[in-house]
């Protein structure tokens, strides 16, 4: 019996990882990537290390305590990489390591204690990779883009067009170093003067004016936190619980005036006020450094004459992934995935990071089931028994629906599947898809739960017969995938298939950090089958084959 699992999928996709050792935090990104460049983020892990704490002097060293925190974080990352059996990993370090006087000793310790080889990026190389990451999120390939990425120890600036860097530089202005040097000392006016001085003396302003740009993009966590706070009403008396419905269509951007209000409000708050803003849903973990970040960005807006900034959900980590794909795939095209980017963009807009991870897990399970049943060549119409084939576009629709099925929760948990449908169908968010394709994806999200659609469902009548049938096949898969993903104590291991068998078998295994609800693994599998009985019956109806749950034999 052949087994198909997430680490060795039927298709040629691979698990890749990027680790960014930043000044404030270490981040690990794990993606499932395909040869032509499409990738899906399956895991994000962030560890607060504050590597650059205390590094204000030019000859400052990374402290022993910071080094210890770094080793602990990297070991955690390594455990995840081993568990997920990632095909290729690239580890980079940025400002703090780049500027540290004991850089070589620190890198040697990482090599000896963790086994990681770390690539220390120059400021210009970091800026270039950030730009590549932005191109994987926003449809700005043919646009002259100024990208600003604020880190803990430095800020990167890059102007690019059509994947080519026209100018890149890095300035020693970061939210951690500015907080330690000015905010904690109550020297906000001095901080503004320092920022302006560095910007003016760097030659950045003249260079940006010389080259010019059509749009400005912010890509860092600091910029995303500011945009998220503006989106939720910070500075206008709103909270994340009463966001106006009219703002759901907002497309990841904010104006200079909105930024100015945020920066001024933060400068007027004491520590208690910032904590209150964090508790209300603004800024979250970045409350400690957000004042410096907001003031820095407002000064950048003024000096570079930026009226509005678009925001990218992708940055350095995704740029590293793009670089790996570009060097390892002969037919890689950085601009080939505009349709897929719009799906990711919409999903990220409405989903929290936790919900994004759940949606990505659902998409991975759906992909395995899809590839398994397609490989078996058992798709037959249940009435006339004529062959019916699913193709790569159908897989794209299925994965898109998996990523978007839960976005309606942003509006309301009550009947959220219907909210998801309306956002997808009426929001004009998906670029490059026909009206029929958007309708198909929206309906898959709509019917991933509750009542299974019948053949005479009014919403399906305008589909041609083949699309109507495909929808029901894909619908059966997404419903099973969502149900498995939502199980808290069992997880999907793979799909077992056999030419001599009449049934498919989904292999489940115990989640190691949660106890089973019963003493018997096999009894627990029976419990899942009982709970998912309606979905299993739907699967049998459309595929004319049973889908069984089994536990691994070992």
Q: Is it the case that residue 239 has pLDDT exceeding 80? A: no
Q: Which of 60-69, 160-169, 235-244, 289-298 has the lowest mean pLDDT?
A: 235-244
Global pTM reads 0.81
Q: Closest by alpha carbon to 177, among 25, 46, 292, 266?
A: 292
The pLDDT score that the predictor gives to residue 190 is: 96
User: Could you give the residue range(s) of every CATH 3.30.420.40 domain in the chain?
Assistant: 9-121+318-336
Residue 58's pLDDT is 63
Q: In what order do the strands lie in the sheet with 155-161?
A: 164-171, 155-161, 145-150, 215-218, 308-311, 253-255
Q: List the structure tokens of 241.
A: 């619980």
Distance (Å, whole) CA 305 – CA 215: 11
* CATH 3.30.420.150 domain range(s) in the chain: 138-313
434-477 residue pLDDT tens: 888 999 999 999 999 988 887 777 777 777 767 888 888 999 99
pLDDT of residue 383 exceeding 50: no
User: Tokens 């209300």 correspond to what residue?
Assistant: 280
Most confident among 293-307, 312-326, 336-350 (mean pLDDT):
293-307
> How many Cβ atoms are within 10 Å of 5's Cβ, its own excluded?
14
Reported as type and span, the H/E element at residue 162 is none
Check: CATH 3.40.50.720 for 340-550? Answer: no
Q: Using only the alpha carbons of the chain, give its radius of gyration.
A: 25
Phi, psi at 314, each rounded to 5°: -115, 155
- Per-residue pLDDT at 145: 98
Q: Which class is domain 9-121+318-336?
A: alpha beta
Residues of the chain with CATH 1.10.3210.10: 340-550
Selection from 380, 428, 423 nearest residue 401 by Cα: 423
- pLDDT tens sequence across 130-148: 999 999 888 899 999 999 9
pLDDT at 17 over 50: yes
Antiparallel, parallel or unpaired: β 118-120 and 88-93: parallel
Locate all alpha helices (DSSP H) within 232-352, ordered by sequence: 256-268, 271-279, 290-303, 316-328, 338-350
SS (H, E, C) 228-267: HHHHCCCCCCCCCCCCCHHHHHCCCEEEHHHHHHHHHHHH
pLDDT for res 279: 45
**Could you give the dihedral angle defined by the CA atoms of residues 380, 418, 460 and 529, in that order, rounded to the nearest 10 degrees?**
20
Return the pLDDT at 499: 47
pLDDT at 255 over 90: yes
**Both tokens of residue 317?**
């980590």
DSSP summary character for residue 453: P
pLDDT tier for residue 508 given thresholds of 50, 70 and 90: confident
Tokens for 154? 């430095």
- Give dist(CA 399, CA 408) in Å, integer: 17
| Domain 138-313 architecture | 2-Layer Sandwich (3.30)
CA distance 13 to 341: 17
Does residue 447 contact residue 424 with C-beta atoms inside 8 Å?
Answer: no
Q: Are 24 and 382 in contact (CB under 8 A)?
A: no
The model's confidence at residue 79, banded by pLDDT at 50, 70 and 90, is very high
Q: Quick check: 280 pLDDT over 90? A: no
Residue with the bigger pLDDT between 208 and 413: it is 208
pLDDT of residue 550: 74
Which pLDDT value is given to residue 104?
Answer: 96
Sequence-distant (≥ 6) Cβ neighbours of residue 82 within 8 angstroms: none
The CA distances from residue 413 to 21, 228, 422, 432, in Å, are 37, 21, 14, 30
DSSP 391-406: -HHHHHHHHHHHHHTT
In this predicted structure, what is the pLDDT of residue 81? Answer: 94
What was the pLDDT predicted at 535? 87
Residue with tokens 């095209």: 333
Percent of the chain residues topping a pLDDT of 70: 81
Residue matched to tokens 């719009």: 342
What pLDDT, on a 0 to 100 scale, did the predictor assign at position 399?
A: 95
Q: What stretches of 136-220 show up as alpha helix (H) in DSSP?
A: 175-181, 188-201, 204-211
Give 158-186 pLDDT, tens digit per residue: 999 999 999 999 999 999 899 999 998 88
């Amino acid at each position: 019996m052949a087994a198909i699992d997430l680490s060795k999928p039927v298709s040629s996709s691979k698990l890749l990882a990027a680790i960014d050792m930043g000044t404030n935090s270490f981040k690990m990104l794990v993606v499932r990537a395909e040869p032509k460049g499409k990738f899906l983020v399956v895991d994000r892990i962030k560890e607060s290390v504050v590597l650059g704490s205390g590094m204000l002097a030019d000859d400052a060293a990374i402290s022993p305590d910071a080094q210890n925190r770094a080793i602990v974080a990297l070991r955690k990352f390594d455990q995840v990489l081993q568990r997920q059996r990632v095909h290729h990993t690239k580890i980079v370090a940025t400002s703090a390591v780049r500027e540290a006087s004991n850089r070589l000793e620190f890198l040697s310790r990482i090599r000896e204690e963790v086994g990681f080889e770390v690539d220390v990026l120059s400021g210009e190389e970091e800026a270039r990779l950030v730009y590549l990451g932005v191109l994987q999120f926003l449809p700005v390939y043919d646009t002259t883009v100024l990208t600003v990425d604020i880190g803990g120890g430095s800020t990167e600036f890059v102007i690019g067009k059509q994947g080519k860097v026209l100018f890149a530089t890095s300035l020693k202005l970061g939210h951690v170093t500015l907080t330690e040097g000015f905010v904690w000392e109550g020297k906000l006016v001095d901080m503004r003067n320092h920022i302006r001085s560095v910007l003016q003396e760097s030659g950045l302003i003249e260079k940006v004016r010389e080259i010019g740009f059509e749009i400005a993009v912010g890509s860092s966590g600091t910029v995303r936190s500011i945009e998220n706070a503006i989106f939720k009403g910070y500075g206008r008396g709103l909270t994340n619980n009463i966001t106006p419905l009219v703002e759901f269509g907002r497309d990841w951007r904010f104006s200079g005036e909105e930024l100015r209000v945020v920066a001024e409000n933060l400068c007027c708050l004491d520590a208690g006020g910032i904590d209150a803003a964090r508790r209300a849903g603004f800024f979250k973990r970045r409350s400690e450094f957000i004042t410096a970040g907001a003031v820095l960005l407002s000064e950048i807006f003024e000096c570079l004459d930026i009226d509005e900034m678009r925001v990218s959900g992708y940055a350095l980590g995704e740029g590293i992934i793009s670089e790996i794909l570009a060097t390892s795939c002969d037919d890689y095209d950085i601009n080939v995935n505009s349709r897929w980017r719009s799906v990711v963009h919409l999903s990220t807009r409405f989903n929290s990071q936790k919900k994004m991870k759940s949606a990505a897990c659902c998409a991975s399970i759906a992909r395995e089931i899809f590839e398994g049943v397609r490989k078996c060549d058992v798709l037959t119409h249940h009435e006339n028994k004529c062959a019916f084939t699913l193709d790569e576009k159908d897989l794209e629709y299925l994965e898109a629906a998996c990523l978007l099925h839960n976005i309606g929760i942003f509006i309301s948990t009550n009947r959220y599947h219907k909210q998801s449908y309306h956002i997808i169908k009426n929001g004009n968010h998906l670029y490059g898809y026909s009206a029929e394709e958007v309708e198909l994806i929206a309906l898959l999200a709509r019917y991933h739960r509750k009542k299974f659609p019948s053949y005479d469902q009014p919403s399906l009548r305008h589909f041609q017969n083949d699309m109507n049938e495909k929808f029901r096949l894909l619908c059966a898969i997404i419903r099973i995938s969502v149900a498995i993903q939502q199980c808290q104590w069992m997880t999907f291991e793979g799909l077992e298939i056999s030419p001599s068998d009449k049934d498919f078998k989904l292999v489940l295994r115990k989640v190691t950090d949660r106890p089973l609800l019963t003493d018997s693994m096999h009894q627990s599998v029976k419990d899942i089958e009982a709970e998912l009985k309606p979905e299993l019956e739907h699967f049998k109806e459309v595929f004319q084959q049973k889908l069984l749950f089994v536990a691994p034999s070992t």
